[in-house]
Amino acid sequence: MKANSRLIVVSNRAPSDGPPSGGLVVALQDCLKARGGLWVGTSGKFTDNPANRFTDVDGDGYQIKTFDLSPGEQQGYYLSYANGVLWPMCHRRADLIDITEGAYEAYIGVNRRLAKMLAQICTSHDQIWVHDYHFMPLASCLRAEGVTATLGYFHHIPFPTPQDLQALPQAEDFSGWLADFDLVGLQTEADVGTALELFRQQDRSEFLSNGNLLYRGREFMLRSFPIGIDTEGFQADACALDGRALANIPKDMRLIIGVDRLDYSKGLPNRLRAFGRYLSHRADDDARATFLQVAPPTREALQAYQDVRRECEHIAGTINGQHAELGWNPINYLHRAIPRTQLAALYRTAAVGMVTPFCDGMNLVAKEYVAAQDPDDPGVLILSRGAGAAEDLDAALIVNPYDISEMADAIAIALTMPLDERIARNAQLLRRVKDSDIQRWTTNFLTVLSQSKNQPLVPTPTFQARAATASVEE
């Protein structure tokens, strides 16, 4: 890190009171505590005409600054554009994109408002690390404000293909949003390949001999940084409670577990169907297995999320109706979040972990399931090839999330896999999980960011022209 350089982390939500909600928050907090610094994000409060200044909140050894959104900004920036346009586009679901009037303007408006506030407090020595698709244009907005700090961006979700991007009305701006950062981090090598393909197709982009990209006069870096978990912390959590007692699972019952936000990208309906198919085809003397799906609600204001919830409830109800016996419901479907220690104990108890998204940036549940296993008697991970995690975790049973009978067969294979094969697969998976844990991810990203050199500090021309015409709510 440069002399006097301060780390500023930007994410949609600033960390709030109470225990951290996940490994990413823990890792960034650790990193800020160690280096000192600042975390900036929305407060979670909505106020009419929010002030264009930050509110200071006490952090544990670092600063937190929050800002409120107006109800209109929450609707336009967060729900309609970030989660109604960018999320489905990046998850190969252009059919779910809902382009609503004023959403893009609200999205750009929040990014510009944040850039103006950040411009007041940052110096050229600072490193600003921006997280995720809510703030893709933030570097362009900061450059337009004359900010000369080093800017890094990490894209937590899949990178869209050039075909996906055709569904975005602002497709022309997309490459410039990225190029205005100094470093763009993606989850996988496959994502980097997709991004390079996008730039290859652009006029005025050039691949430089130092490995960087030049786009419309700006040089920047594009690299993969596969995100991980706090492996040791998770291993310790997994031993703290008895998962079998927690879920009231009889000794002779096998547990299959799925844990996901209830998002259409996670492939829940097909996973439930695969379990139903497994039940229909299992031999009468096979040990019974219960499927526990933990699926907390998310973004329920959007129709696509209401639809997937209804679909899951219908499928789970039908399968239970067909296969339940006195004292045994094959599917136990929890529509809420549960504490991390309980989750870790349940992973450890489960003979099978099913992670079958259609499309996922990485998927931390896959890594958590591996870390939580007893190395002497581990369970089996069934993993979709659509998850970024499959790039590294190829010792899992890799499945096609669209092929229900293949997933049903994988359940049968997993439930009968010999102990020595389970041990060998888990040991290999655990090595990979440890190799890319969250502390290493943070350090790697920030090391490369420190090496990225500051480029000509003007925003890309396309963005300047468009931003000038967008009506901005300030």
Site residues (vs ligand ADQ, CB under 6 A):
22-24, 156-157, 227, 259-261, 294, 296, 337-338, 343, 360-365, 368
Q: Return d(Cα 198, Cα 192) in angstroms, integer.
A: 10
Q: How far is the CB of 432 from ligand ADQ (least distance, A)?
A: 15
Please tell me what DSSP assigns to residue 292: E
HSE, CB side, 13 Å, CA atoms: give it for residue 462: 19
Clarify whether 156 is annotated catalytic: yes
Is the CB of 320 or the CB of 342 nearer to ligand ADQ?
A: 342
> 110 or 294, CB closer to ligand ADQ?
294
Residue owning tokens 């893009």: 104
* Token pair in block for residue 29: 């907090």
Nearer to ligand ADQ among residue 228 and residue 459 (C-beta): 228
Q: How far is the CB of 228 from ligand ADQ (least distance, A)?
A: 9
Choose the catalytic residue: 126, 180, 237, 360. Answer: 360
Residue-by-residue DSSP string for 411-428: HHHHHT--HHHHHHHHHH
The tokens 């700090």 sit on which residue? 149
Q: Which of 131, 156, 237, 437 is catalytic?
A: 156
In the bound complex, what is the minimum distance in angstroms from residue 333's beta carbon to ligand ADQ?
11
Instruction: Provide, rounded to whole angstroms, the least separation between the CB of residue 178 and ligand ADQ.
Output: 17
Residues 170, 473: Cα–Cα separation, whole Å: 18
* Residue with smaller CB distance to ligand ADQ, 192 or 364: 364
As measured in angstroms, the least distance from the Cβ of 263 to ligand ADQ is 6
Burial classification of residue 83, based on how many CB atoms lie within 10 Å of its CB (0-12 exposed, 13-18 middle, 19 or more buried): buried
In whole angstroms, give the CA distance from residue 331 to residue 322: 11
CA angle in degrees (0–180, nearest 5) for 209-213-214: 105
Residue 125 falls in the annotated catalytic set = no
- Residue 122 or 184 with smaller CB distance to ligand ADQ: 184
Q: Which residues fall within 8 angstroms of residue 34, CB to CB, at 6 or more apart?
A: none
Q: How far apart are CB 394 and ligand ADQ at their closest, in Å?
A: 17
Residues 6+ apart with CB under 8 A from 386: 267, 356, 357, 358, 359, 360, 401
Closer Cβ to ligand ADQ, 329 or 341, answer by number: 341
Kindly write down the DSSP assignment for every residue of 85-120, as one continuous string.
Answer: IIHHHHTT-GGG----TTHHHHHHHHHHHHHHHHHH
Catalytic residues: 156, 360
